[in-house]
A and B are shown apart, each in its own frame.
Chain A
Amino acid sequence: MVEHIMRTEQAVSWDVCLELFMGGDKRLTVVAYAFPNDPPERERLSLQHATMTRLFEGKLYFAPLNEGFPPRRILDIATGTGDWAIEIGDRFPNSQVTATDLSPIQPAEVPPNVTFFVEDSYVPIMLTAM
């Protein structure tokens, strides 16, 4: 069986995901990431963020981070639409926030201390000191 790695720069919807695997092309057996990244999914991620915030009664984090001695460099892995990363950037305006995701679904306008990186399937992440 031939294995393909699917990687697309277009917005992927659930229909596309399902079509690929239900379709006749049985050669497509490997996908880097199973989730869509279209507008409905972005909305869902924002809702999910709001739900988590409510669940945690407004707390973004439970780590004993100290606003008097803030964490200088913060990394958010699989940041999705970047809601958490943006909020932590606002909370610690003098800290540098790096946030990564496979999908480029983060807003273009972000606080100046927040930077999003799209993980490329073929190229390792190389970030130097900012």
Chain B
Amino acid sequence: MSTSEDTTDEHGRSEEWEYTVPFDYIHTRVTAGCWSSFRDQIAVQAFEALNPGGFFESQEFDGLFSSDDGTLAPDSAIARWSHDLCAASESLNRPLVMARYLKSVYEEVGFVDVQERIFKVPTNEWPKDPKLKELGRMWESNMSQGLSGFSSYLFNKVYDRSPAEIEVCSAPADLSHDVIADLVFRSPW
């Protein structure tokens, strides 16, 4: 494991944590879009801030839509929107596509016994199952309140689109949302 010599970030802020007493358990949840480098800003430092045998857990989702049967056409409106959104976040150095890389990032910085769990969240009320239907309803509400604003910001900043040009697609039926990966890692003894 190596850390960068220059520990200031692009804003000139120190990235080094200065906790004087180590932790036993460190947790992150839904932080994609906050970091230029999760590895350097979070993973490396969490590793150093944990007691041996301590745990690090991240509950993160990926920015891309998927469909269970792989039928999401790459040229469909929703696929293009999802792709544009993720590409915009990349160009602003705040990637939304992050969760899928976390397992290997954490192994790289020294965590062991890594366990990854993947959950799928429906994008709206399309499922017949009542539990999934309710989950989809809640997630759709979360997305329309949060992601649409964030996507407007990204589309304007990166692609210079005016509000009139920005279309937020409401997800069509039978699409599952962003895979949520829950990862648990242990610091080696």
Contacts and interface: CB of A to CB of B under 8 A. Distances in A.
Given A61-B27, A74-B25, A122-B13, A51 B142 contact: yes
Contacts of B22: 73
B157 A51 contact: no
Interface in B122-172: 134-135, 138-139, 141-142, 145-146, 149-150, 152-153, 156-157, 162-163
A17 to B, nearest CB: 6
Interface residues of A, number: 49
A74 B50 CA distance: 10
A75 B184 contact: no
A47 interface: yes
Nearest to B146: A44
B18 A124 contact: yes
B55 A121 contact: no
A127 B54 CA distance: 19
Given A30-B11, A51-B139, A78-B34, A65 B25 contact: yes
B87 interface: no
A126 interface: yes
Contacts of A78: 28-29, 31, 34
B180 interface: yes
Interface stretch (B64-72, B100-108, B113-121): B113-121
B161 to A, nearest CB: 10
A11 interface: no
State the majority secondary structure of interface residues on B.
Answer: mixed
A73 B157 CA distance: 40
Given A34-B150, A122-B13, A127-B18, A76 B27 contact: yes
Interface residues of B, number: 55
Contacts, number: 143
Nearest to A127: B19
A63 B25 contact: yes
B167 to A, nearest CB: 15
B40 interface: no
Contacts of B142: 44, 47-48, 51
B138 A51 contact: yes
A18 B152 contact: yes
Given A61-B27, A71-B25, A77-B31, A47 B138 contact: yes
Interface of B: 10-14, 16-31, 33-34, 42, 46, 49, 54-55, 57, 59, 92, 94, 115, 117, 119, 121, 134-135, 138-139, 141-142, 145-146, 149-150, 152-153, 156-157, 162-163, 180, 182, 184
